[in-house]
């Protein structure tokens, strides 16, 4: 998953894989312990050197490092679910959705609005996606968008978003099905995506699309930067 949404800078030291991408998205600006004896103080040093609040991903089996971070004042933030589904049949793509390796017209402007990514955030996200070689999908009139990363028979879906005035109209479903159809045509037979646990609307959408929970993780964030 780190490979599919790659940080612009990755450093491995003191038992950690530390990612930095100018503060844009938690996934690309967080640390993951790769050794059982990872130094719990290393994320604090790394991110404070870069002017960011330290953020750590905690996965199942990392209860010890989780407890050490809690002792250092890191609080739980944004529990997330890993959802998966098999692609036994080709999903039906939508004629209303454009899918392309190159961001389609309207991609950068899609779903932009209050609370959406600004120019800086959008530029950094574009760098992340370009590094991975993602495919992009955008609904007509910029109502919804998403992107996907394909590795062998596994496709990861990222960046799903729907404009506020277009929710509950099936726009996101059309984007998702079009991305999965694109991946199926290129050999994908499994799909995964990540969703914040308390995002009920998104979870309902993905469950209707056949996704089920395979794992979960959470972030811990330091109270001070």
Is domain 89-188 given the CATH code 3.40.630.30 in the classification?
yes
Phi, psi angle pair for 51, to nearest 5°: 75, 20
pLDDT at position 65, please? 98
Q: What is the largest CA-CA distance in the chain?
A: 53
pLDDT at position 117, please? 62
- Integer CA distances (angstroms), 147 to 23, 65, 77, in order: 20, 32, 25
Q: Which residues in the chain show pLDDT less than 70?
A: 1, 104-117, 225
pLDDT at position 216, please? 97
Tell me the per-residue pLDDT of 102-130, one tens digit each, with 9 for 90 and over: 876 666 666 555 555 677 787 888 888 88
**Mean pLDDT of all residues belonging to the chain:** 91
Helical (H) or strand (E) element with 193: strand 190-196
pLDDT at position 54, please? 98
pLDDT at position 83, please? 99
**Stretch(es) of the chain classified as CATH 3.40.630.30:** 89-188
pLDDT at position 120, please? 79
Measured distance CA(134)–CA(9) in Å, rounded: 18
- Of 123, 147, 110, nearest to 24 by C-alpha is 123
pLDDT at position 116, please? 57
Measured distance CA(34)–CA(37) in Å, rounded: 9
Neighbours of 113 (CB within 10 A): 11
pLDDT at position 105, please? 66
């Amino acid at each position: 998953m780190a490979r599919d949404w790659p940080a612009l800078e990755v450093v491995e030291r003191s038992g950690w894989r530390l990612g930095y991408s100018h503060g844009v998205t938690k996934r690309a600006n967080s640390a993951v312990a790769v050794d059982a004896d990872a130094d719990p103080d290393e994320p604090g040093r790394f991110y404070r050197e870069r002017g960011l609040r330290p953020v750590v991903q905690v996965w199942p089996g990392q209860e010890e490092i989780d407890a050490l971070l809690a002792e250092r004042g890191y609080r739980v933030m944004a529990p997330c679910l890993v959802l998966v589904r098999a692609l036994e049949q080709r999903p039906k793509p939508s004629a209303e959705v454009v899918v392309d390796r190159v961001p389609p017209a309207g991609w950068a402007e899609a779903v932009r609005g209050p609370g959406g990514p600004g120019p800086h955030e959008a530029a950094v996200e574009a760098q992340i996606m370009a590094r991975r070689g993602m495919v992009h999908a955008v609904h007509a009139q910029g109502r919804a968008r998403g992107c996907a990363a394909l590795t062998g028979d596994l496709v990861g879906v990222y960046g799903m978003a729907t404009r506020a005035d277009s929710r509950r109209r099936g726009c996101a479903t059309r984007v998702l099905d079009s991305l999965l159809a694109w991946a199926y045509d290129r050999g994908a037979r499994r799909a995964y995506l990540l969703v914040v646990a308390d995002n009920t609307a998104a979870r309902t959408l993905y469950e209707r699309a056949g996704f089920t929970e395979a794992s979960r993780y959470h972030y811990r964030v330091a109270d001070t930067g």
